[in-house]
Structure 1
């Protein structure tokens, strides 16, 4: 059996929509439809229930998809093992993360050290990250929320305090520490549900017996600092964000709230082959992020030099 129709079948099964699958595969819709029809003829059963361009996986298709996912995943892992045998110059790594900003600095150094490695990045909420990981679309997830899944392994990259950021002219900007009660009614800038900032925001307010007054929900956690500096509201940001947004005029306050921290973690499948490129990428990012965080902490503790 030819592998190409099976790869096409897997994408159509995931989308349950011919045109969307054709767009992802970069083939024409008629060509994709013919390929699926030939596969059904070869197998002797229909794989989808059809309604125009919309298709729904039937029981035959669901059975085949489970086998196809496993078979193609095994072949991909075999390809990665062979690439490792040829050395890092021919490797590849696919990473999914909630925010790409964290990877900018480490990626620069990794590309300089390993110019031949093909790096692919994906961004989404936690549910999207884990779905890509379980389907074998990515090697690693870099995430800021705990995952309780025995099929996954994880390694901590950084555990850091989360601060409250306010515009410089805000009524709280001159304070060093505040409590959750000081934030009642404050316009809050955060992310959509599913991202770590929103999860932490909702948890802290719930523990204080209140709810946040959300004025902005974003898909890019890295944009939060600039939205806060515009005067739209206040929000939670990790301590390392002070380095990523040096030109955003912000005040940074410690929040007296239980477990107001972020733990940055790499996650990968326990049963999957972790390529040499993925291992090297994980080690490089971890070392770079920790080194930068240590430098930030030393700079914060260094006394100011008066003119």
Structure 2
């Protein structure tokens, strides 16, 4: 395999080596190149710089002050190139690389830990860089290259992105435990039209889903509180400050808070939402370009183990 540093920064490598050896023959020997190749690389560097980097010195050449300054800069640049090559190779390695994953807050308590654990059973040295946020912000991070995969809802339709719909997650209406509608069984949105609501802030996928439900039912909700985290919203519901449209509780979340499924938060009763739009689709999104090998492997596991996303 070709030396990636030589391919990416060949003239810089020759220039830095000349700064160390100050002799064309010794540079050629150090880099395993022919002397004519070294001479041509130095000439290209000088033309690109636009100032004299070398002056004749007997049968050879020596550096000018500008040449010395630029060879020092070239050495630092090469060190950065070498570090970058090592990092991207390490991040790409299927057994020891790094997965940059973005996901919704509501998937952080159980679904994402379960998927990461399943993947690391066979690849215990793989590292994860995890980003939580609103759906729109996560997709912006994906577009900028800050993450390589995003678990989100709704599944977007954007140029330059590829998607895979994975699972449907039921939506519920969360009531305070002493609410008159805190009873078993499904509930229609029309039954709670007059309640005060605790909703996610705009920009979150669940707010988009809730707004679509209200529009479909012809309801203009009275919004008492807006938040960014499902646990906070459930806490507000438990305090009797409103009702909330939320995804159904995940088993891991339930066990962490109450030890009983589906009750996820003391003082909260969740009833399945009845009617059209009573579920949200969870999906996986990535850029339409080659993924690092380790990220592609994790993507494939998520698609195979999609049952871990929902109760």
TM over 0.5: yes
2:276 is aligned with 1:270? no
The structure 2 residue matched to 1:283, chosen from 300, 304, 309, is: 300
Residues 115, 290 of structure 1: alpha-carbon distance in 2 compared, 3 angstrom cutoff: same
Q: Report the alpha carbon displacement of residue 79 of structure 1 after superposing the two structures with TM.
A: 6.2
CA distance in 1, matches of 2:209, 2:146: 28
Structure 2 unaligned regions, length at least 5? 1-7, 10-48, 50-82, 259-264
Aligned to 1:209: 218
Aligned to 1:230: 239
2:203 is aligned with 1:185? no
Aligned to 2:277: 259
Residues 157, 133 of structure 1: alpha-carbon distance in 2 compared, 3 angstrom cutoff: same
Structure 1 unaligned regions, length at least 5? 4-41, 43-74, 297-307
Q: Report the alpha carbon displacement of residue 140 of structure 1 after superposing the two structures with TM.
A: 0.5
Aligned to 1:154: 163
SS for the counterpart of 1:147 is: coil
Instruction: Determine if contact 1:215/1:233 at 8 Å carries over to the other structure.
Output: yes
The structure 2 residue matched to 1:218, chosen from 227, 233, 257, is: 227
Aligned to 1:169: 178
Instruction: Determine if contact 1:83/1:90 at 8 Å carries over to the other structure.
Output: yes
Q: Report the alpha carbon displacement of residue 229 of structure 1 after superposing the two structures with TM.
A: 2.7
Provide TM-score, normalisation by structure 1.
0.63
Residue pairs, 1:64-83, within 5 angstroms: 80=88, 82-83=89-90
Q: Report the alpha carbon displacement of residue 149 of structure 1 after superposing the two structures with TM.
A: 1.4
Residues 213, 241 of structure 1: alpha-carbon distance in 2 compared, 3 angstrom cutoff: farther
Q: How many residues align?
A: 221
Deviation string, structure 1 residues 59-88 (Cα, Å, up to 9, x no partner): xxxxxxxxxxxxxxxx989964x4477x42
Aligned to 1:93: 99
CA distance in 2, matches of 1:117, 1:92: 6
- CA RMSD in angstroms, aligned pairs only: 3.0
Residues 84, 135 of structure 1: alpha-carbon distance in 2 compared, 3 angstrom cutoff: closer
Q: Report the alpha carbon displacement of residue 145 of structure 1 after superposing the two structures with TM.
A: 1.0
Q: Report the alpha carbon displacement of residue 153 of structure 1 after superposing the two structures with TM.
A: 0.5
CA distance in 2, matches of 1:282, 1:218: 30
CA distance in 2, matches of 1:266, 1:214: 30
The structure 1 residue matched to 2:127, chosen from 106, 118, 133, is: 118
SS for the counterpart of 1:89 is: coil
